[in-house]
């Protein structure tokens, strides 16, 4: 939930703040960033760096992020590394997290690229934080009890324990939350190839897309039409594209019926398809699988994924609290042919990728665009480009005529 009643912090002031969980557990710390109340689901990330990319990732909408790295803020904030590209405009990176929980807030920014401090940016955007928290204890609590409703209270909003717990419990649960409309672009826009003429064009459904994703496609000669989450098949076909991409995004995939319907229509048209993270859950649903809420999810830049066909392991960047329920058999039948699970998490066996057996549609649960994180999976964009150029991809004109 977005922050409310936020007021700027006094420079140099360190006032009390509280991190409050729905089960009644309260951690006391000091306030930083804006002051007030912010509510959301408490989750943790194991990433050791990249806090700016994390905070500006729309997939973290309505989540209070607990960082396991002990010190946060030492590289400051810049206008280049934000992952929020709204309506085609780079606005320096809109912060989507509801709040930030850290052990040690760096007293100064020490990086040649820093343009201001993390706290300066949080104050400017009205984001509430709490520092001097035993984040190890918080993470253990979330691992034991699961991700849960939480809130950060500071300034004049710091109240008695019972009142704060009641406020936290009254908020909407992440299960059943439909958040794509909150983070999607309001207007379609185009990201052109980095160099030369476009080899192919793709419609990218923005369910919470990160700015590095169209950039990765553009580097491979693809013109990317980023379109709102409410787009229809007619909107896609009017663009005369060679393929469709479904982005990452926040919320419960069980609520994303419109995106599932569009995906089924795209598959029926034979349009090459690639999805990541939320897009993986949407493709899985379209292929007949169910989704479920994970106990505490996967969030970090060091999560190993096994490709079943080769046994190769990629270290991946991930941010998801929902997953596809594994099918009972290795393959299953769909209206578009046989489907299969292609990737699993080496840590816990979670489904990390699905595909149609003929290769015309595939998706992964992780973030091949990284930002932040390793680039082990960047070759998936190459695979998608190869699919766009395959001889059996069909023509856009033929598809439009079949509508």
281 is in an annotated binding site: yes
Q: What is the DSSP string of 234-282?
A: HHHHHTT-SEEEE----S-GGG-HHHHHHHHHHHHHT--EEEETHHHHH
Q: Report the alpha-carbon distance of residue 389 to residue 369 in Å, rounded.
A: 21
- Which parts of 41-198 fold into alpha helices (H)? 51-55, 118-125, 135-145, 161-169, 180-183
Q: Report the alpha-carbon distance of residue 376 to residue 378 in Å, rounded.
A: 6
In Å, the largest CA–CA distance within the chain is 66
249 is in an annotated binding site: yes
Residue 44 burial class via C-beta count within 10 angstroms: exposed 0-12, middle 13-18, buried 19 and up? buried
59 is in an annotated binding site: yes
- Which parts of 13-104 fold into alpha helices (H)? 51-55
Return the structure tokens found at 68.
Answer: 């396991």
**Residue 302: how many CB atoms within 10 A of its CB?**
13
Catalytic residue from among 83, 121, 265, 369 = 369
Return the structure tokens found at 121.
Answer: 């940016």
State yes or no: is 277 an active-site residue. Answer: yes
Catalytic residue from among 277, 320, 343, 352 = 277
**Residue located via tokens 């595939």:** 362
Find all residues with CB under 8 Å of 161, minimum gap 6, and list them. 20, 24, 26
* CA–CA distances in Å: residue 376 to residues 205, 286, 385, 387: 24, 27, 17, 20
Return the structure tokens found at 292.
Answer: 């479920």
State yes or no: is 182 an active-site residue. Answer: no
Catalytic residue from among 27, 225, 320, 367 = 367
State yes or no: is 367 an active-site residue. Answer: yes
319 is in an annotated binding site: yes
Give the active site residues: 277, 367, 369
Residues in binding site: 59, 249, 251, 278, 281, 319, 321-322
Residues in binding site for L-glutamine: 59, 249, 251, 278, 281, 319, 321-322
């Amino acid at each position: 939930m977005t922050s409310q009643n936020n007021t700027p912090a006094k420079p140099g002031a360190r006032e009390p703040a509280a991190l409050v969980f729905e089960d009644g557990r309260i951690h006391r710390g000091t306030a930083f960033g804006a002051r007030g109340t912010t509510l959301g689901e408490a989750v943790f990330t194991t990433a050791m760096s990249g806090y700016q990319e994390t905070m500006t990732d729309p997939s973290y909408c309505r989540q209070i992020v607990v960082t396991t790295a002990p010190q946060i803020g030492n590289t400051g904030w810049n206008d280049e590394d934000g992952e929020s590209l709204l309506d085609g405009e780079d606005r320096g990176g809109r912060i989507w997290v509801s709040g930030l929980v850290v052990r040690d807030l760096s007293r100064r920014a020490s990086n040649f690229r820093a343009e201001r401090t993390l706290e300066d940016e949080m104050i400017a955007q009205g984001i509430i934080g709490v520092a001097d928290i035993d984040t190890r204890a918080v993470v253990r609590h979330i691992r034991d009890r699961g991700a849960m409703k939480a809130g950060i209270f500071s300034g004049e909003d710091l109240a008695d324990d019972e009142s704060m717990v009641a406020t936290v419990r009254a908020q909407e649960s992440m299960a059943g939350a439909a958040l794509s409309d909150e983070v999607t672009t309001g207007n379609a826009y185009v990201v052109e190839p980095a160099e030369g003429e476009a080899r192919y064009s793709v419609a990218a459904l923005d369910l919470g897309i990160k700015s590095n994703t169209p950039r990765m496609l553009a580097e491979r000669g693809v013109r990317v039409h980023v379109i709102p989450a409410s787009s229809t098949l007619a909107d896609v076909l009017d663009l005369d594209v060679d393929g469709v991409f479904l982005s990452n995004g926040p919320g419960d995939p069980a609520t994303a019926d419109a995106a599932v319907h569009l995906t089924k229509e795209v598959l029926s048209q034979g349009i090459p398809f690639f999805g990541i993270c939320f897009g993986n859950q949407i493709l899985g649903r379209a292929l007949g699988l169910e989704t479920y809420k994970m106990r505490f999810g996967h969030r970090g830049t060091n999560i190993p994924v096994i490709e079943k066909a080769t046994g190769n392991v990629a270290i991946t960047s991930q941010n998801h609290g929902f997953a596809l329920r594994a099918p009972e058999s290795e393959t299953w039948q769909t209206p578009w042919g046989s489907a299969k699970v292609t990737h699993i998490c080496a840590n816990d066996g979670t489904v990390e990728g699905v595909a149609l057996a003929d290769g015309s549609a595939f998706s992964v649960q992780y973030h091949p665009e990284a930002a932040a994180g390793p680039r082990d999976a960047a070759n998936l964009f190459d695979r998608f480009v190869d699919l766009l150029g395959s001889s059996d991809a069909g023509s856009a004109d033929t598809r439009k005529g079949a509508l």
